Amino acid sequence: MPPLSSDQARIYFYRAYRFGEAYQPEVTVNGQVVGKAQMEAVFFRDYPPAKYKISTSMAQGKHLVLDLAAGETKYVRLTYRIGFDVYPELVDRATGEAESEDLSYTGAMFPTQGFTPAYVAEEPKDGPRAFFRDPFIENLTGEWDITRTIRGKVVHNKASAAWVLNHQFLQLHMTDVSSPPAYEAIVLIGYDHEAQEYIAHWCDVFGGRFSAIGRGKLLNNSVAFTFTPPDGSFINTFTWNPKDRTWTSYMENVSSSGARQFFAEDTYRHGR
């Protein structure tokens, strides 16, 4: 996510719990739709200093008024209650950060027409000034022990992940536990803001011909990267599991007819 401009304020909107799943109303700021109260999801909007009225299409008159100052960050929890349905509720920053940490980032889901330019924060763009700050992929940073299931066997690998290239990519460096390692890969994970897709550049010991670029969209804490190397299509689905703070990587070969066949599954646990 882009850094907050010094002359703007930021509001995070989130819905942390799966109560009232049938009710996912639109969220409005000063009467304009800015997003949706999706389950276990978070998004944000930036505004200049002023007063703003926040509501939902199912708040039954229970709205929230915020008087924003430049540089402020506010957290608005979208709360489900019987009788009020879904309504906005201001929480302190510590509570908001803790409750929204493991939620799916839904980003710019709604167009901003209807706001004058002074009231719309510019959406992230591709280029050297567009920092890739993403709470979903951020969960992949650090040291990892990997348990792989492949061809009926269980093997152990390791990985480390850190931001590189002006915070444009997360570099995932994987090796097996042999010394020297028989397999090694470097994966650069970034984001194409125009296409609204995650992108992964996969390079390993098989060399340039078999390196590949995969693309995928975020859905329910998962990104299914589709790769098309010379030897056939391949899907690697990365899934974040917030309850135990692990990742799974489910790999499938794709036949010319589109049929998927299991190849391997990795489970990432934080290294000690």
Q: Please answer whether residues 54 and 67 qualify as being in contact, where contact means their C-beta atoms are separated by less than 8 angstroms.
A: no
**Where does a domain end: 51, 86, 119?**
119
pLDDT in tens, 12-29: 999 987 666 667 888 999
Whether residues 265 and 144 share a domain: the answer is: yes
Report the pLDDT value the prediction gives residue 83, as an integer from 0 to 100.
58
Strand partners, 167: none
Classify 30 as helix, strand or coil.
coil
Whether residues 199 and 109 share a domain: the answer is: no
pLDDT in tens, 130-147: 667 788 889 999 999 999
Say if 76 falls within a structural domain. Answer: yes
Q: Which residues of 154-186 are buried (b: 16+ CB within 10 A; e: fewer)?
A: ebebbbebebeeeebbbbbebbbeeeeeeeebe
Weakest mean pLDDT among 46-60, 121-135, 181-195: 121-135
For the chain, what is the domain count? 2
Say if 19 falls within a structural domain. Answer: yes
Report the pLDDT value the prediction gives residue 111, as an integer from 0 to 100.
39
- Domain extent, residue 143, equals 135-270
DSSP assignment, residue 57? Answer: T
Whether residues 184 and 258 share a domain: the answer is: yes
Phi-psi region at 137: left, alpha or beta (left = phi > 0; alpha = psi -120 to 50): alpha
Across the range 69-84, mean pLDDT stands at 85
Whether residues 110 and 31 share a domain: the answer is: yes
